[in-house]
Amino acid sequence: MPSANRRVVVTQRFFDRETIDYLERTGCEVVVADLPPGQADGNLTQGELETILAGAAGWIVGHARVTRELLTALPELLVVSRRGVGYERVDLDAVRDLGRVACIAAGGNDASVADHAIAMMLALGRRFRESQDNMLAGDWSILMGSDLFRKTVGIIGLGRIGRSLVQRLQGFEAEILVAAPDRDPDYAAAKRITYVDLPELLSRSDYVSLHAPLTPQTRFLINAEALALMKPTAVLINAARGGLVDDQALLDALRAGTIAGAGLDTFVSESDPGYRPVSEALLALPNVVGTPHAAASSREGLDRTNRVAAMSVVAVLDGRSPPAACVVADGRA
């Protein structure tokens, strides 16, 4: 049944006017939370979230934790829609138990994240940061870099973003290795990729790019032992989730020359502040390119994910089902 309550609260920055207009055309009352500069919804306490979300039927969320306690305190909240694709901060069991719906913005940021991963590969291979730092210090000598062209690239995880990366790498004539739990032989033949196990991928790849979800099984998937398998000339890219990489082990490996460099859009310290000194030490290295979990944050990517997240909210408030790829938990009878 359609919901009479159509109040939708947005706790994300950069929520575009066109998507707000779309929500309002469907009869929604839209409230965009006025967060202080520099503050994200992931930093809000449960009490602050309860105040902001009071009376809301829909919530378009970024990185806030969606807990059983929070959902219980918000009985009118029917749907939580992430402007993004990760959902490790959402208590899916609580969503189901309490009859709510949790969604992700599937397909909205695939291109943006894949572009970001390519950009990091190129920046590290051609040593952009090191070159500019040297030039600013008065040293204009040329640093020898390396191409992405015809290199071996290992992709860990082959969901929507991983497949978008495959498409881009074909323009570089790269040899593409994939480690993923499910293997699609038809896709492999069509895209000329090779499925391998993780140790082989790590030992053969010039670039390793992570595109797996963070689960208890994948936490610290790239640890000291995994890094030791990589080539000393190899580069690691993590534009997926902080926690897939043991950042302390990565710091040790980079300092020891075990691998050549790293492109990091996500860090363990995002969820564990105790790792902040490790993140800062990584960012201080000349062979690290870092960004603040910004891979999906192009103007176009955010507009797309805003719209997908909003469409899922409207579907639930209308009593319909969002696209299957967007639903991660549905507790409606």
Cα maximum dimension of the chain: 68
Answer yes or no: 293 catalytic.
Answer: yes
Is residue 134 a contact partner of residue 141, using CB atoms and an 8 Å limit? Answer: yes
Q: Which of 129, 116, 186, 121 is nearest to 154 (CA)?
A: 121
- Which residue out of 160, 293, 304, 307 is catalytically annotated? 293
291 Cβ contact list (under 8 Å, min separation 6): 116, 264, 265
Burial 49-84 (b: 16+ CB within 10 A, else e): beebbeebbbbbbbbbbbeeebbeebeebbbbbbbb
Active site residue 175: no
From CA 73, how far away is CA 169, in angstroms rounded?
47
- Residue of 136, 140, 81, 130 whose CA lies nearest to 105: 81
**Strand order of the sheet with strand 79-82?**
29-32, 7-10, 58-61, 79-82, 101-103, 327-330
Catalytic option among 82, 241, 304, 307: 241
How many C-beta atoms surround the C-beta of residue 6 within 10 A? 20
Q: Catalytic residue among 48, 50, 130, 270, which? A: 270
**Which segments of the chain does DSSP mark as H helices, in order?**
17-25, 46-53, 68-73, 92-97, 110-125, 128-136, 160-169, 185-191, 198-204, 224-229, 247-256, 276-283, 299-317
**Active site (annotated) includes residue 270:** yes
The residues annotated as belonging to the active site are: 241, 270, 293
